[in-house]
Amino acid sequence: MNRDWMVLLQENQVGKVIETNQTTARYGLTLTEEEAKLILRERKDTLREQRRVEFGDSVTPKIIYEFCDSDFIDQSNYVETIARLQEIFYLYKNEMLDEISDDELLHLMKEQFEEICFGDLDYLEGTCLNNFAQAVRAGYQGYKASAGRGEAYTFDEVKRWDYDLYLETLRELCWR
């Protein structure tokens, strides 16, 4: 069999993306072969746009595994969300000057996506990760000790609600 090695590599990547269905199906998320190919084409375009080269395994399955249990992803937005998360991932690998590992960035992205952005990809890209990238470029390395976990609020500029105070105020209003 004298097939081009790039074709074989692409087929292998599609297979690895399809294999994620074994895990993601329990969350109601699955990809067809065509959807997997679409995500990988988007990845290829993003890599070219960000002037990046990826050797070895694609980060795409890692993104899928990291985000598959999200409250903000369902089958109707699954393909688009994974494709967009890839774009954001590669953009911020560049913005953070490759100082942060893939896993650290993925953990950080997931935490911010869930806890601060509530599934808003524009807010994740334009505000949360931008603030964090500025800190990393300025020398911040606190994320290394936690592998990127627990960092979501470190550079959050928005004052959040205090849930306990909210409940206390609500009780007071309801008992009047």
Q: Please, are residues 142 and 104 in contact by the beta-carbon 8 Å criterion? A: no
Angle between helices 129-137 and 78-95 (to 10 degrees): 20
Closest CA to 52 of 4, 104, 98: 98
Domain residue ranges in the chain: 1-95, 103-176
The shares of helix, strand and coil residues in the chain, as percent rounded to the nearest 5, are: 65, 0, 35
pLDDT digits (tens, 9 = 90+) for 140-161: 988 888 888 878 777 766 655 5
pLDDT at 104: 95
pLDDT at 4: 55
Displacement of CA 23 from its chain's centroid (Å): 17
Q: pLDDT by residue for the chain (176 residues), tens digit each? A: 455 544 445 557 888 999 999 999 999 999 999 999 999 999 999 889 989 887 767 899 999 999 999 999 999 999 999 999 999 999 999 999 989 999 999 999 999 999 989 999 999 999 889 999 999 999 998 888 888 887 877 776 665 556 677 677 777 777 66
Secondary structure (3-state) at 119:
coil
CA distances from 26 to 5, 81, 126 (A): 34, 18, 31
- 97 φ/ψ angles, rounded to the nearest 5 degrees: 55, 35
pLDDT at 145: 83
Secondary structure (3-state) at 109:
helix
pLDDT at 7: 43
pTM of the shown model: 0.82
List the Cα angle 29/34/37 in 5-degree steps.
Answer: 95
* Look-up of token digits 């960035």: 105
Give the span between the Cα atoms of 86 and 81, in whole angstroms. Answer: 9
